[in-house]
Structure 1
Amino acid sequence: MTITELAPPLGEPLTLAETKAHLRVETSAEDGLIAALIRTVRDHLERQTGLSLLTRTFRLYLDDWPRARVIQIGRGPVQTIEAVTVYDAAGMPVAVDAAGFVLDGQARPARLILPRQQQPGRVINGIEIDFTAGFGATGADVPDTLKRAMLLHAALLYEFRGAVSIDSQPAAVPAGYDRLIAPFCRRGL
């Protein structure tokens, strides 16, 4: 199972202004650095939690349908299923009718239950599921706890920006960060 992002987010959950206010930065001299830190902490948080903070489109690739007919989607919260495509033996795409599909997009991981479908003809990535995931279109839709964790993380990276290059970030997470994001993380047994 592979998930790829089809379109990047249209913005960031934190604005430059709110991040600068948190950092107590009043000039625009380091706006580029702060914007890069916002992207870095968002990307880190999304990787840690499996969440998509802002709404965007992804594609899930499967080799075959699961036996239990329940497809787990590792990015969430899933808002909608846009399209399901199966490739036949000739390698031609066949659109799958979404009638009968049941989506539990808020579950962690999100679950898609589907009726029996035709078997893919391709051995690898014979099934593609396009879906939209995220809390909403703007940072106002993102839970405040996650935004607070991002602000703390950005502050740590900003403070130690000379010690570790921006390309090697994030080098560390601040105290309390893990507790803030813990309710949003998937934990395995």
Structure 2
Amino acid sequence: MRLILVDPPEAEPVTLDELKDQLRVIGDHDDAFLERAIRTARAKLDGREGFLGRALVAQQWRLELDAFPAREILLPLPPLLSVDAIVYVDAGGSEITLDASAYVAIGAGDTERGCVRRANGESWPATGSYPGAVAVTFTAGYGEPEDVPEPLRAAILMHAAHLYENREAASVERVHEVPLGWFDHVADYREPPL
């Protein structure tokens, strides 16, 4: 199984102005650092590498499998917004797009993990013996930045603010690790890996 980001989110879950309000920063002299802090905080939670195992803002992914499974195709990175295409390689090496009437997307628009099942009376087609012979392209995430649950947005703001205010791993005055309270905001949203 391979998971490839096809189209990243067009915006971050929080804005630069929201972070500046959180920090009470005036002016634009630190904007580049603050934008990087937002990206870093979001990456800590979002996508394939993120702690949550979820997609936050709408983004398109491709899941590659060596063959169709016996039953359904579980899709990582909830919430599922849509299944955009299923393409497979047949025994002759030709790429074929599976007709959308041959499968059903389960869980689209829900906050839980989605899956793709064969439509009633349909069976998965035979594939050739190629790595990644089945490719499911899907869109995942809560939608727009403002659709991301408030606890997750708050966690991103907290982590980005932490990065801004604590630019080093240790303090000169007292050597200690600065705790990150954002974990309390995100724990309920974490998905177990597939």
Listed one character per residue, the Cα deviations across residues 78-101 of structure 1 (whole Å, up to 9, x for unaligned) are 111111001012321111112142
Aligned counterpart for 1:74 among listed residues 68, 73, 76: 76
Measured in 1, the distance between the counterparts of 2:111 and 2:126 equals: 26
Partner amino acid for 1:176?
A: G
| Partner residue, 2:138 | 131
Task: In structure 1, list runs of 5 or more residues that go unmatched.
Answer: 165-171
* TM-superposed deviation, 1:140: 1.0
- Evaluate the alpha carbon distance shift between residue 10 and residue 102 of structure 1 in structure 2; reply closer, same or farther with a 3 A threshold: closer
Give aligned pairs, total.
179
Alignment of 1:1-189 (within 5 A): 1-46=1-46, 47-67=50-70, 69-99=71-101, 100-105=103-108, 106=110, 108-114=112-118, 115-137=122-144, 139-163=145-169, 174-187=179-192
* TM-superposed deviation, 1:174: 4.1
Contact 2:142–2:148 (8 Å) recurs in 1: yes
Give TM-score scaled by structure 1 length.
Answer: 0.87
Partner amino acid for 1:64?
A: A
Task: In structure 2, list runs of 5 or more residues that go unmatched.
Answer: 171-176
Please state whether the residue corresponding to 1:54 is helix, strand or coil: coil
* TM-superposed deviation, 1:38: 0.6
Measured in 1, the distance between the counterparts of 2:106 and 2:183 equals: 29
Kindly, what percent of the aligned residue pairs are identical?
32
* TM-superposed deviation, 1:65: 1.5
Contact 1:91–1:122 (8 Å) recurs in 2: no
* TM-superposed deviation, 1:52: 1.3
Q: CA RMSD in A?
A: 1.9
Give TM-score scaled by structure 2 length.
Answer: 0.85
- Evaluate the alpha carbon distance shift between residue 187 and residue 129 of structure 1 in structure 2; reply closer, same or farther with a 3 A threshold: closer
* TM-superposed deviation, 1:5: 0.9
Measured in 2, the distance between the counterparts of 1:72 and 1:3 equals: 12
- Evaluate the alpha carbon distance shift between residue 182 and residue 15 of structure 1 in structure 2; reply closer, same or farther with a 3 A threshold: same
